[in-house]
Amino acid sequence: MFAGKTTELQRRIALAQAAGERVLVVKPARDTRYGESEIVTHTGVRVPARSVATLDELVGEIANASADFIAIDEIHFFASEAVAPIEALLARGTRVAVAGCDIDHFGDVFAPFDALIPRASEVVRIHGACHRCGAPSTHSERLSAVTDRIIVGGIGDFVATCGACFRPSRR
């Protein structure tokens, strides 16, 4: 968290739009932190987005050639159920970019990254600064005692940490 993943996704959206591509921006329906129909950076930059419960909702729509490029924010919210729809979109020639946390607050790899990274034509890991020591952050440490794997949170719920400073949540 707090590394600029959504900011980078928004940059790629702007590049695709500037190139004349038909762009579809997608976010998980359960992420209502800053708005229900936008992806929003922690600094407040907003881009309109379609909110979906599952990525399966997109496959039929894209079959009708409604997008050349799909940008998906918070991909980890979709978990392993994201893999098949993304593979279907890629098979149709649709470019797909995703952003999300690849490691959870327990220190485990978040699905779907374990399946998507080997299939990716490009992988960009973005690091913020560790909340404790300032080193590049690689983990999101949860500040609350909630043990659910995913909560919709932000400032006050998580801090970015490096591997050395990371304190995993207890199960």
Residues with a known catalytic role: 74
DSSP states along the chain: --SSHHHHHHHHHHHHHHTT--EEEEEETT--SS-SSEEE-TT--EEE-EEES-THHHHHHHHTT--SEEEESSGGGGGGGGHHHHHHHHHTT-EEEE---SB-TTSPBPTTHHHHGGG-S-------B-TTT-SBP-EEEE-S----S-----BTTEEEE-TTT--PPP-
